[in-house]
Structures are given as structure tokens and as C-alpha cells.
Structure 1
Amino acid sequence: MNPFGIFVCILWGTVALFSVLSFVTVVHNNRRNLKRAQAVVIGKNVSPSGRTSTARSSDAKTDYIILFSIGGVTRSLFAGQALYTDLQVGDHGTLSYRDGRVVGFTRAA
């Protein structure tokens, strides 16, 4: 047997093979695409995402967008509601982001 092993999973009546090596590769690629930079929060916006599947306004989804200045370049990134609420204009620190979405922000001391 190879050192990475092969796992068999029964899912809804079908058999799927998963290799540990494949999983490790996916995790590694996700970490590799993560970018970090010194940034300053310069603005915040909220907008309806248009991802609702019904016509009721109570079902409308919201996109939380934070504008950052990264090395003198303005970049808008999507964020979760908690991070959006926590960050204020003027905050500066280390920004972690991937694929147009904020992963984390650590304020400078």
C-alpha cells in the first residue's frame, strides 16, 4: 500500500475514491493563494448581492465590501458581516485575503 493511502467513501449509493495526497494538494494550493499585505481601511459599503432565489425582500442577501489601501492602490474586497462590523475607517494592520475575499485582518499595535 502506498504511504498516502486511498479512502473509499459511500455517498448516496455511489462509491467515491479519495486520496490523501489529493486532499493535501488542495489544502496546500489554498494556502499558497493566500496573500498578506499591510493595509489601511479607507471605506466600507453594503449592497444587495442579488443572489436571492425568491422575490421577498426579507430573503435578500447582502454583500459586505471593505475598501483597503494596499501600497497606495485601492482594492475592494468582500468580507463577512462580523469583520465588516468590527473594522472602522482608518484601521491599519496586516490584511490576509484570497480570491477577492478578506480572510483576516490584524490591527497594528
Structure 2
Amino acid sequence: MSIVQGLAWQPPWQPMGRVVCEVGELLSLGQAGPHGERRMVPLCGGTVSGPALNGEVVPGGSDWQWQRADGVLEISAHYLLRLADGAQVEVPIKLIGFDVLRAGGGGRRSDK
């Protein structure tokens, strides 16, 4: 259950589109002392499609990860969308969670 699902009032959010990224090989930057491992995954392209956004993921973005020693995975991704109408959308994302490894492969290629 997400934080939003636990609220009495549900915000009227609707998905704008689904982003599917093509990723390069995971690059381990090594252990950050006793605090965990730093990693980077290059974003090599992809697509965005949905009711409000359609276009492509511009190659050159990246997904920086910190697999913390306490099991938490922190992700900081930054990429650019080029929409079908020519507009460009900068997408910065910051995520933190315990379930990322189970849900998405922990920085490895995954269809989930």
C-alpha cells in the first residue's frame, strides 16, 4: 500500500504516460565505506506513451543508485523526454525504498 492509498482523501491523480527506458550496463562505483555501494546505470533511450504524453526518452540520461548497508535503495535519475509534438520535458526523479529490489530487479534489467 502506498502512502496515498492510506489517506482518507484521495488526490485526483491520473497517469500521464508510461516511460520504458533502455538501460546500459550497471557500473559499480564500489563500496562507500561501511555505508553501502554506489552504482550508475546509463539510460540509452526508450519510449513514453499514454493519454497525455507520447514520445521518446533521449539517450544520455542516468540513474544513480546508492544501495545502502541497511537494505534501502536510493535512486536519483535524470533524463529528457522528447514528445511527439517536439516539446522537451526534463525529468528529475528521486526515490527511496525497501521494496525496489523485489519489484524492479535492484538495478538489473527487469520487465517488471
Q: Counting helix residues as a fraction of each chain, which structure ranks higher?
A: 1
**Same fold by TM (over 0.5)?**
no
TM-score by length of 2: 0.30
Q: Which has the larger radius of gyration?
A: 1
TM-score by length of 1: 0.31
Structure number with greater CO (CA < 8 Å, separation at least 6) is 1
